[in-house]
Structure 1
């Protein structure tokens, strides 16, 4: 999907979050593999600490000051969407913030803004080193 010729508002925020979940998960996995020589089980434990809704909500809050108006709008659309499931871990508020966070990453990916994705991800890594 190429968003350059389409109105991003036509794409469901939950669809953006679906894509963003995969994009963000892959970024974390890539980072872990490149920076830690551990067994897969240990890598997965570390990954979970960065992909859970509480952590994503914290990262979303941290990124707010550097988001563009468009990015903030996408985040809010994702945050305000009504997912059909309820969080197994974390609060409903964290879950909604995490959905906005994932929607932002999905939007940027589908728009082809990989440099911006890397910038945001690097801010996350700088704020909280991915360690055990």
Structure 2
């Protein structure tokens, strides 16, 4: 388990790297649990949850609804403001930066073993996306 102090030493993009994997895994579990089994369909559906555009929309909603702690907001800002040397694919820089911030929050929660909180936030996000797909 990584201690919060150790997570504080990681840069925003390292946190986002881990958060991307943690978030996508739970999204994949959600899709499989709900009976989706065809690979092409799984990939297409997962994009609704894990694309930069979706993650930017989700983090905006979490912030607007004041669902993040002050500490989580700090990690969001760290990820959002991190200097990325790769180009955003299929989106603008602002959307890409917000999605990196979203992933940094998830990475921080995952690495510090705050599993209940991680599952709570991801559950909220999945629910929000599910409502748009219904």
**Shorter-normalised TM range:** over 0.9
Secondary structure in 1 aligned to 2:130?
coil
User: Are the counterparts in 1 of residues 78 and 101 from structure 2 also a CA contact under 8 Å?
Assistant: yes
Report the TM-score when normalising by structure 1.
0.92
The count of aligned residue pairs is 131
| 1:43–1:9 CA distance, 2 compared to 1 (3 A) | same
Report the TM-score when normalising by structure 2.
0.91
- 1:20-54 residue CA offsets vs partner (Å, 9 max, x unmatched): 01001101100000012331110111001211111
Alignment-derived partner of residue 114 in structure 1:
115
Q: Displacement of 1:7 after TM fit? A: 4.7
Secondary structure in 2 aligned to 1:45?
helix
What is the distance in 2 between the residues matched to 1:77 and 1:50? Answer: 22
Alignment-derived partner of residue 44 in structure 2:
45
Alignment-derived partner of residue 79 in structure 1:
80
RMSD: 1.6
Structure 2 runs not aligned, ≥5 long: none
Structure 1 runs not aligned, ≥5 long: none
Moved over 2 A (4+): 6-9
